[in-house]
Structure 1
Amino acid sequence: MPWHLLGAGNLGTLAAFYFGQAGLTVRLATRRRLTLPDGTVHDLQLAGDDNAPITHLVLATKAAQSLDALAPLRARLSADTTLIRLQNGLGSLDGLPPPPPHIIEAVANSGAWREALPGGGEHVHLAAENPTLFGDGHATPPDWFAPLACHWPQLHWRTDIHLQQWLKLSVNAIINPLTALHDCDNGALLTNTALHPRLHALAAEVDQVASQLLPDWPGDTAGRALALARATATNTSSMRADVRAGRVTEIDFINGYLLRAATQLALPLPAHSHIIAAIKALPQKR
Structure 2
Amino acid sequence: MPADIWHLIGAGSMGTLAASRLLAAGFDVRVISRQGRSLQRRLRWADGRQQGVTLPAAGDESIRRLLVAVKAGDTRLALQPLLPRLCSDAQILRLQNGMGSLDEEPVPASVRVLHLVTTDGAWRSAEDIHVVAENDTLIGDGGDIPPRWLADLLPHWPGLKWCQDIERAQWQKLAVNAVINPLTALHRCRNGELLDGAEREQKMAQLASEVDKLLSACYPDWPMDTLQRSRDIARQTAANTSSMLADVLAGRETELHFINGYLLRRAQRLGLALPAHQSLTCQL
Measured against the shorter chain, the TM-score band is over 0.9
* 2:221 aligned to which of 209, 216, 225: 216
The answer to whether the 8 A contact 1:106-1:134 is kept is yes
How far apart are 1:95 and its partner, in Å? 2.8
Shift of 1:23: 0.8
Give matches, 1:1-286, under 5 Å: 1-28=4-31, 29-100=38-109, 101-116=111-126, 122-279=127-284
- 1:137 CA displacement: 1.3
Instruction: Work out the CA distance in 2 between the residues paired with 1:95 and 1:32.
Output: 31
1:115: Cα distance to partner? 1.2
Task: Decide whether aligned partners of structure 1 residues 167 and 153 sit closer, same or farther in structure 2, where only a CA change above 3 A counts.
Answer: same
Identity of aligned residues (%): 50
- TM-score, normalised to structure 2, is 0.93
Corresponding residue for 2:34?
A: none
Residue type of the alignment partner of 1:25 = D
Checking the alignment, whether the CA contact within 8 Å between 1:37 and 1:129 is kept in structure 2 is no
Shift of 1:98: 4.7
CA shift at 1:38, angstroms? 2.2
Following the alignment from structure 1 to structure 2, what is the Cα–Cα distance between the partners of residues 215 and 27? Answer: 43
Report the Cα offset of residue 192 of structure 1.
4.7
Mark the runs of 5 or more structure 1 residues left unpaired by the alignment.
Answer: 117-121, 280-286
Partners of 2:88 and 2:164 in 1: CA distance: 21
CA contact (8 A) 1:190 1:226 kept: yes
Is the 1:107–1:164 contact (alpha carbons within 8 Å) kept by the matching residues of 2? yes
Distance 1:129 1:210, change over 3 A: same
Counterparts of 1:32 and 1:44, CA distance in 2: 5
Does the 8 A contact of 1:129 with 1:153 survive in 2? yes
Contact 2:83-2:107 within 8 A present in 1 as well: no
Give unmatched runs, 5+ long, in structure 2: 32-37
CA RMSD of aligned residues (A): 1.3
Cα distance in 2 for partners of 1:176, 1:53 equals 37
